[in-house]
Amino acid sequence: MEYTDKATIAYENDGDIFGLAEIQSSRQSTFKHLYRSTGDRLFSILEKHAAESAVEIAQKCDKPQALAIPYHNLGKYYAEVEEWGKAAEYFRKAVENLTSYPQNSHSRPSVIADIEGHRYTAEYKCGDKTALIRALKALEDLKTASEDSYNKAVWITGAHLRIAEMLLKDNPRLSKEHLEAAGRIIEKDSRLILRKDQLKKLQQLFK
C-alpha cells in the first residue's frame, strides 16, 4: 500500500494518466490479497472501488489502450464476488482492447490467453458449458506462449485451479486432473506462495 501510494502521487505529478490507472489496479490486487487472507469484507469493498477508479481514470487517458488492464482487473473483482456475467463482459472488453491495440506492451499472446481463460471460466459459470472447450484451448495457448517464467507459472496454475473449481460438480475426474496438474507445478516452484494457499483451500473441497 505504501508503494502504491507513492506511485500514485508520482504518476499524478508527471501527468501520466496511463500509469495512474494501472497503479490503481495494483492497489486493487493488494486489497484482494488482504480480503483473501483475512476474510474481511471491507477489503472487498475497497477492492471494488480501486478497480472501478482504475477504469474511470483510464477512460480519461488519450491512449485507449490504457483500458486493457483496468478492464481485466475489474473482471477479476466481479469473478471474486461471483457476478459472472459482469466478469465475462469485462474480460471480453480487455481482450478486445489488447487485440485492437497491439502496440500495447501488454498485448502479448500470453496475456491474451490468460485473460481469455478467465473469460471462458466466467462464461461457463454463467451456464455456457461449451466454454470448457475454449477454456482448455486458452490454457494450451498459454502453455506454448513465450513469457517470463514466473508469470507463466502463475497464470498456468491459475488456469488449472479455475478449471478444477468450475468442474468440481460437473466433471469430478477432469476437475481432479487439473487440480493435480496445478499441484505439480506449485510443488516445484517456491515462488508460488499465494497459489499454494489457493491449492490447499481447493483441495479441501475434494475431501
H or E element in which residue 89 lies: helix 84-100
Model pLDDT, residue 37: 87
Question: Which pLDDT value is given to residue 88?
Answer: 98
Cell numbers at 179, concatenated: 487440480
- The per-residue DSSP string of 123-150 comes to HHHTT-TTHHHHHHHHHHHHHHS---HH
Distance in angstroms (rounded) separating the CA atoms of residues 143 and 29 = 24
Closest residue by Cα to residue 156 from 166, 145, 167: 145
pLDDT per residue of the chain (207 residues) written in tens, 0 to 9: 899 999 999 999 999 999 999 999 899 999 998 998 899 999 999 999 999 999 999 999 999 999 999 999 999 999 999 999 999 999 999 999 999 999 999 999 999 999 999 999 999 999 999 999 999 999 999 999 999 999 999 999 999 999 999 999 999 999 999 999 999 999 999 999 999 999 999 999 887
pTM, two decimals, is 0.93
d(CA 94, CA 13): 27
Cell numbers describing residue 30? 493488494
Distance between CA atoms of 178 and 140, rounded to whole angstroms? 13
The contacts of residue 194 (CB under 8 Å, 6+ apart) are: 33
Residue of 78, 77, 81 whose CA lies nearest to 31: 77
- What gap in Å lies between CA 4 and CA 28, rounded to an integer? 10
